[in-house]
């Protein structure tokens, strides 16, 4: 009988995780390995990449660490080449690297604008087209997943350049999905809300804000919750899904922020709970 793992269709496949050295990238690399993938981890920090590659090897898969700064085009290209060489071709590419500038638009310099486009979108274009060329040449199907942001879905005060880059990433992924669909290459985006990561640990003040009003599920997400969405989109479980932006945001973008109705909704469901409790007693 087929095991649940077979549903992923990833056993013996080769994955590249760009920015796989910690947080969401580490979770993605580990979950892909658990689903049967060999994994190449590219990270600007060699120690981080080595540590996650060791985790992949402990799971019984081939784990390869590659140090590169993917914001340099030639380093991104070289890293893809090294990963392909080490794993004998790629079936999956996951790209995690991204960061946000926090500046009002009126104060933002053109250089800062360019920097956010580069560190959130350009390297994905550089790496993904190289991986796609190879998949097309080898006539193998494949899956790519990149990481967007809810800032690319809604207006993003003080994150305008980042939000524009993340919105652009979704558009780029959709265009790739359409151009490469007949080659069996799927391209999707995971769109996180507020996620607790090693770089952005949850402060008590932030936790309070999340609990009080912003996120309907009243908590931040975990890196594993992003990794699971990455795994789903990379796997055969999503075999008919391409050009999709999957929100993993605890309901954040479904709610109207600071909407007083949220409190009313909460109250009404609390009453419901009270009613249910009363009925049971
Ligand atoms: N944390 C959140 O709440 C949140 C919300 C929405 C979207 N995101 C997105 O999630 C992704 C991950 O964010 P994070 O804060 O967890 O990441 P992070 O800063 O921890 O980076 C992940 C890994 O990428 C590596 N890296 C950074 N720059 C690199 C470069 N130039 N070349 C190669 N490797 C590099 C880092 O060393 C790290 O190991 C980003 O794309 C971010 O925009 C985060």
How does pLDDT run across 187-239, given as a tens digit for each residue?
A: 999 999 999 999 988 888 878 877 766 788 989 999 999 999 999 999 999 99
CA–CA separation, 127 vs 119, rounded Å? 13
163 lines ligand 1 (CB under 6 A): no
77, 197, 247: which to mutate for ligand 1, most atoms within 8 A of CB?
A: 197
pLDDT value, residue 281: 36
pLDDT value, residue 114: 97
pLDDT value, residue 5: 87
97, 190, 210: which to mutate for ligand 1, most atoms within 8 A of CB?
A: 97
pLDDT value, residue 280: 43
Q: Structure pTM?
A: 0.94
Nearest Cα residue to atom 30 of ligand 1: 69
CA–CA separation, 87 vs 81, rounded Å? 10
What averages of pLDDT result for each successive group of 10 residues across the chain (281 residues)?
A: 88 98 98 98 98 98 98 98 98 98 96 97 98 98 98 94 98 98 98 93 81 81 98 98 97 75 64 55 36
CA–CA separation, 216 vs 221, rounded Å? 12
Nearest Cα residue to atom 7 of ligand 1: 149
Q: How buried is residue 93: exposed, middle or buried, by Cβ count under 10 Å (0-12/13-18/19+)?
A: buried
pLDDT value, residue 209: 75
CA–CA separation, 256 vs 210, rounded Å? 14
Q: Which of 83, 92, 89 is nearest to 33 (CA)?
A: 92
- b/e per residue, 241-276, with b = 16+ CB within 10 A? ebbbbbbbbbebeebeeeeeebeeeeeeeeeeeeee
Q: Which residues pair with 247 in a beta bridge?
A: 191
What residue segments make up the domains of the chain, in order of their start? Answer: 4-277
Q: How far is the CA of 97 from the centre of ligand 1 (A)?
A: 4
User: Please, are residues 161 and 101 in contact by the beta-carbon 8 Å criterion?
Assistant: yes
pLDDT value, residue 19: 98
45 lines ligand 1 (CB under 6 A): yes
pLDDT value, residue 211: 74
Fold of domain 4-277? Rossmann fold (3.40.50)
């Amino acid at each position: 009988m087929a095991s649940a793992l077979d549903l992923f269709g990833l056993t013996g496949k080769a994955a590249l995780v760009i920015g796989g050295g910690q947080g969401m990238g580490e979770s993605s690399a580990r979950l892909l390995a658990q689903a049967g993938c060999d994994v190449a981890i590219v990270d600007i920090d060699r120690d981080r990449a080595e540590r996650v590659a060791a985790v992949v090897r402990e799971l019984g898969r081939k784990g390869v660490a590659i140090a590169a700064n993917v914001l340099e085009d030639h380093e991104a290209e070289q890293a893809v080449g090294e990963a392909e060489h080490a794993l004998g071709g790629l079936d999956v590419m996951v790209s995690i690297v991204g960061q946000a500038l926090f500046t009002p638009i009126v104060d933002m310099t053109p250089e800062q604008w360019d920097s956010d486009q580069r560190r959130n979108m350009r390297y994905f274009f550089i790496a993904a087209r190289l991986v796609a060329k190879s998949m097309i040449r080898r006539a193998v199907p494949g899956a790519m997943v990149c990481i967007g942001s809810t800032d690319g879905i809604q207006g993003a005060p003080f994150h305008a350049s980042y939000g524009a880059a993340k919105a652009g990433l979704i558009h780029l992924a959709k265009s790739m999905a359409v151009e490469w669909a007949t080659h069996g290459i799927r391209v999707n985006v995971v769109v996180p809300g507020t996620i607790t990561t090693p770089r952005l640990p949850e402060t008590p003040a932030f936790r309070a804000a999340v609990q009080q009003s912003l996120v309907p599920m009243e908590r931040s997400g975990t890196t594993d919750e992003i990794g699971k969405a990455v795994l789903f989109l990379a796997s055969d479980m999503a075999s008919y899904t391409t050009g999709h932006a999957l929100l993993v945001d605890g309901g954040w973008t479904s709610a109207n922020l600071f909407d007083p109705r949220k409190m009313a909704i909460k109250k009404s469901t609390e009453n419901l709970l009270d009613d249910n409790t009363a009925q049971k007693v």
